[in-house]
Amino acid sequence: MAMALQLSTFVTQYLASGTHTNPTKSTNALRMGILSTAMINPAALIHPAETHGGVVIHGVASRDLSSAESYAKKYSIPHAYGSYSALLSDPAIEAVYISLPNGMHCEWAVRALEAGKHVLLEKPVAANADEARVVFETARRCERVCVEAFHWRFHPAAHVVDAIVASGRYGEVRKTSARMTTPSGSLPMSDIRWNYELAGGALMDMTYVLSSTRYFLHQPQLDEVLEATSVPSPEDSRVDQSTTATLRFSSSLSSTPITSTIYADMARSNSFWVIPRLWELPSISIECEEATIYFYNFMMPHLYHYIAITDKAGNTSYQKHYCFGPKWGVRGESWWSTYRYQLEAFVDKVQGREPVCWVDPEDSVQQMEAIDKVYEATGLGKRKGTQELVGSGEE
């Protein structure tokens, strides 16, 4: 389902680029490079940058020059590099987007930061919390911006839900439940998400379930893993095909500990054995004393979403928010994707302006700490980076 959402984003952004005039690029536009030729790049950066006057994509790197050149030609990127190091050595590039496999995030984020580049780093920020600390300590030391690309957190709909929960209108939060699934067979076993050496696994790829839980509880540390189980991949028992966990958090939104369940599944069984569960878009339910707030498709709300508020009498009201909201105000457009909002904030931060919203380093480290704790509770153990497993080197 995650891949289907990304493909839908490609289509909507392509249509948007055809119906909206792209702005003239500023003379001091941020020059960005891309490490990898991953499928996510067009949706996550290339197309959003087309509609941002303050960003230009200067180059793309692959371990194979011909692949980089072909990719650059396809997306009208002026420069191609046959190694990641070559791109980082280009003084014209000021910032990089890293969409390499999870296990390579730490190594190449550190190299990029030490090369003087700002970094937009795909989630999860690293293979484990130890690596996450290394990444952000390097950013601090090098005085560069580095942010985990939890794009959904930059969308107005997320801010509206947060405002509703935090207002106290419906009382204290009592429990939450988040899920994200992909229909069985959607991800071929050759996909990097199934690769242990690249820090694959359901909870790593679908870390959104934990991200949304922590975000709406105001980013608390995980108090305790009450229960956690994983279904191992049939190809590699070290990789979780699915993970279910019950967690306990202390939050400013409640005077008592909050119980949260998360469910991530990369091979969700079909309904009635034949019907793929295409309707199971990433969603979170937040139960308060007086009502339950349900946010459907929190991961890609720009495609479609709804916010349902059901009171104790069973009455339900619905909301949708594609722009405006309590943080962006009149800034932004209804056709902007989560990635486009994220890019707006990233450019502001890099250029010394206060972003409308942000993912702080401490938050990202605590996110990885929680992932580690869940994996340890399942018995699989926390993920390892590629350097720890096989030594350094380019993909």
CATH of the domain at 100: 3.40.50.720
Residues 216 and 125 occupy one common structural domain: no
384 a catalytic residue: no
Task: Tell the residue number behind the tokens 């972003």, with chain if given.
Answer: 355
Q: How high is the pLDDT of residue 18?
A: 54
Q: State the angle between helix axes of 208-216 and 361-378 in degrees (0 to 180), rounded to the nearest 10.
A: 120
Residues 315 and 277 occupy one common structural domain: yes
pLDDT exceeds cutoff 70 at 11: no
Number of Cα atoms under 13 Å in the Cβ half of residue 210: 33
Number of domains in the chain: 2
From the candidates 123, 327, 373, 382, give the one annotated as an active-site residue.
123
Residues 272 and 370 occupy one common structural domain: yes
Which of 301, 356, 307 lies closest to 329 in space, CA to CA?
A: 356
Are 128 and 105 contacting, i.e. CB atoms less than 8 angstroms apart? Answer: no
DSSP codes joined into one string, 162-207:
HHHHHT-TT-SEEEEEEEEEEETTSS-TTSGGG-GGGT--HHHHTT
pLDDT exceeds cutoff 60 at 252: yes
Residues 12 and 61 occupy one common structural domain: yes
Strand partners, 293: 286, 309
Distance of CA 201 to CAs 98, 106, 171, 236, 386, Å? 19, 17, 36, 10, 14
Q: What is the DSSP letter of 19?
A: H
pLDDT in tens, 259-270: 999 999 999 998
Distance (Å, rounded) from C-alpha 41 to C-alpha 10?
A: 10
Q: Domain span at residue 75?
A: 8-143
- Find the mean pLDDT for residues 52-79: 98
Residues 95 and 66 occupy one common structural domain: yes
- Find the mean pLDDT for residues 104-111: 97
Residues 161 and 290 occupy one common structural domain: yes
pLDDT in tens, 196-220: 999 999 999 999 999 999 999 999 9
| Residues in CB range of 202: below 8 A, 6 or more apart | 193, 230, 240, 241, 242, 243, 264, 265, 266
Which of 100, 39, 86, 20 lies closest to 58 in space, CA to CA?
A: 86
Return the percent helix, strand and coil in the chain, to nearest 5: 35, 25, 40
Q: How high is the pLDDT of residue 317?
A: 98
Residues 160 and 135 occupy one common structural domain: no
Average pLDDT, the chain: 93
- Find the mean pLDDT for residues 262-289: 92
Residues 116 and 30 occupy one common structural domain: yes
Distance (Å, rounded) from C-alpha 329 to C-alpha 258?
A: 31
